[in-house]
A and B are shown apart, each in its own frame.
Chain A
């Protein structure tokens, strides 16, 4: 984040030259990565949308969500340490929700600290920042991360090996990313985007236009709720063999 904010003023000065350079890239390619040349160097928000929130930041959120979920239950069963918890006067539901809330807290802290770290850097480099826009991207990013974490927790409740959980959800997300990419490049396949979380994680709309679509909220919250219910029921009922 510091690097992006520090570079922005000088990049803004050379906006015209840089735009000419980027103009040689295919339009579809630019669209796939959320790069709009008309607004790219206009504000720090549009710059971050293209440079940070299109790939790097969601990737960090994905890694965090998957690793937290996979280690919460499957990881502990794998290591054998789940016995320590199961031997205590705690219900299975208590264990599941305790781990879920712990993971949620970490995701929350990561999202807001990483997004709002723009403030001190912007002050340092005299860059104007629209805080409300950053709040929106933090929210949409957090919803995206919570959904991935919830799916990871559900799979973690089902399986006894951390690696299995990671590979399944990583495969799922890679597939979704590819679907979203293909949908943006080929008009006939446009509807595939609705099957991808990356379509609903509209960081551009959030950070540039201060918008989160209702459908994104519904999809993320809906999947989160379903996975939480499924995960807790699975963990309550299964044999835990360490």
Chain B
């Protein structure tokens, strides 16, 4: 069953086509990544799903209902988290929780979640760090136990520890059958937690891939320095390109699985090695 169905969705701002006729769907219980560089149309798509802004063409359906016409009803089942959470500065976290409780007219027990994310709800927002604000945002998105989570770059600007905490929480939520739709411009993040990835560039979908497929398209840059002779011919092979030859080393561009290259390098005396993952721009340049 498809939880989210986007068909030929378009949105322009004046003459700029922010999103130009995209279509994709998200299955129930799936973690779908929405990957693209800045300005690709990710946030625009998410804001239309949440009915903050309205499409200029096409349809967005969530749980079989139009996202705009049935916006209020659908939000009973949706939890939303933005990359930059805006909160009422003079309120405490508890004030925000109480507001949501009143609006949703439900009894929640958020204490377990508060403990899990290590959050103090009694401090005023103006005294909270950005990480703690994001924790509150996550709490507000999860506390009413929604069926669907819509997240717009939820880990932007957070330290690795907190990012990992959020990933663990999301995986836990997905294991309970929740559908998660998450935008990101971080390839590693998407590879880590998503089941499928929808890739958007300049307002158009360029690919929808499973994560294993995406991992096969990984690019690495390997800088290796040798003691003695530099074995350029021996290392060049299928999926391995020599980007540059140095006086005592090589810069290799490796596509896909890096393990065969590392096994080959083990046959040589190496002074130093540096391996970096490709970034999103490299991926787009190479494949899309």
Contacts and interface: CB of A to CB of B under 8 A. Distances in A.
A89 B72 contact: yes
A87 interface: yes
Contact residues of A: prevailing secondary structure: loop
A223 to B, nearest CB: 29
B53 A89 contact: no
Contacts of A87: 50, 75, 78, 80, 141
A90 B72 contact: yes
Contacts of B47: 241
A86 B86 contact: no
Nearest to B141: A87
Interface residues of A, number: 18
B76 interface: yes
Interface in B197-249: none
A79 B85 CA distance: 11
A242 interface: yes
B87 A81 contact: yes
B96 interface: yes
B104 A89 contact: yes
B73 A89 contact: yes
A235 to B, nearest CB: 12
B103 interface: yes
Contact of A91 (B53, B72, B141): B72
Contacts of B72: 89-91, 94
10 contacts: A79-B86, A81-B87, A81-B88, A84-B140, A87-B75, A87-B141, A88-B75, A89-B73, A89-B74, A89-B104
Interface of A: 79-81, 83-91, 94, 237, 239-242
Given A81-B88, A84-B140, 8 more contacts: A83-B80, A84-B96, A86-B50, A87-B141, A88-B75, A89-B104, A91-B71, A240-B52
Ranked 3 nearest A-B pairs via Cβ:
A80-B86, A239-B53, A89-B75
